[in-house]
Structure 1
Amino acid sequence: MRDHAPPPEEWEGSVLALQRRRRLLPRIALAAAALLTAETALVVATSGQAVALPAKKTQAPARPESGKGPRSAADIPSAKVAARLSGRRVEALSERTETSTTWVKRTAA
């Protein structure tokens, strides 16, 4: 039985080598993260091309519509009334199918 620690070349795969790696790897990872952060900040500051800035909110120009009011109604009679009052066409939701929609014009009788 040995009374002293083995020389370092015999440590490979031993508990001591594993403990040393466990202490060293987080430090390396932290240093790499800090280096990448600093490099990213430098690239952004000098070129301005590394970051996509959020687009400014632009409002689409409003389409001129004749009158205000609902764009849809529950059934045909209420769609007729809404179309006459608003002055524009109104969709009758009760007549909507998977492939078609029914619109009531403001001049509907």
Structure 2
Amino acid sequence: MIATLRLADEQLEQIEQLAGAGYAPWQIAMYLDVPKKEFIKDWNNKDSLIRYHYDRGILLVDAQAGMKLAENAMAGNITAHQQLEKIRKGQRLEALKKHYLYGEETDGL
């Protein structure tokens, strides 16, 4: 599928920041002042640059929080350790669902 929108590098970075902050694709389209319909069409394409940067933005925030949590757990914070275990179990469950329900290839199963 060919992308319908051409975005500048700065806009792709803004997509990452806004996605990491929890904004929905339609809100990001409005923020960037681009046609919502075209933005959503590109976002629905899992191989598009828009989708890549959206997913990357979420991952960056989650990874930073996870690394800080791991740091606190290693320092002996029991609550941080419990939260980290809960996150790990959730990630594993999501990977299994993607594999068995949707047939997606996931590394590390």
Q: TM-score, normalised by structure 2?
A: 0.29
Q: Which has the higher contact order (CA 8 A, sep 6+)?
A: 2
Q: TM-score, normalised by structure 1?
A: 0.29
Higher strand share: 1
Higher helix share: 2
Looking at CA atoms only, which structure, 1 or 2, has the larger radius of gyration? 1
